[in-house]
A and B are shown apart, each in its own frame.
Chain A
Amino acid sequence: DVKVTQSSRYLVKRTGEKVFLECVQDMDHENMFWYRQDPGLGLRLIYFSYDVKMKEKGDIPEGYSVSREKKERFSLILESASTNQTSMYLCASSLRGWPPNYYEQFFGPGTRLTVL
Chain B
Amino acid sequence: AQTVTQSQPEMSVQEAETVTLSCTYDTSENNYYLFWYKQPPSRQMILVIRQEAYKQQNATENRFSVNFQKAAKSFSLKISDSQLGDTAMYFCAFMKHVEETSGSRLTFGEGTQLTVNP
Contact = CB atoms under 8 A, between A and B. Distances in A.
Contacts of B110: 40-42
B102 A104 contact: no
Contacts of A43: 91, 106, 108
Contact of B46 (A88, A97, A107): A107
Interface string B2-19: 001010010000000000
Interface in A100-116: 100, 103-105, 107-110
Interface size of A as a range = 20 to 34
A78 B108 CA distance: 23
A92 B93 CA distance: 14
B47 interface: yes
B100 A103 contact: no
Interface in B85-118: 91, 95, 100-111
A41 to B, nearest CB: 6
Nearest to B52: A100
A109 B43 contact: yes
A105 B110 CA distance: 18
Interface size of B as a range = 20 to 34
A96 B43 contact: no
Between A42, A56, A94, the greatest number of chain B beta carbons within 10 A of the residue's beta carbon is seen for A42
Nearest to A94: B104
Given A104-B50, A107-B46, A110-B43, A42 B103 contact: no
Contacts of A98: 100
Contacts of A94: 104
Contacts of B95: 103
B108 A44 contact: yes
B44 A107 contact: yes
Contacts of A31: 103-104
Interface string A40-64: 1111110011100000101000000
B84 interface: no
14 contacts: A40-B9, A40-B110, A44-B108, A45-B105, A45-B107, A48-B105, A90-B45, A92-B45, A100-B52, A103-B50, A103-B95, A103-B104, A105-B47, A110-B44
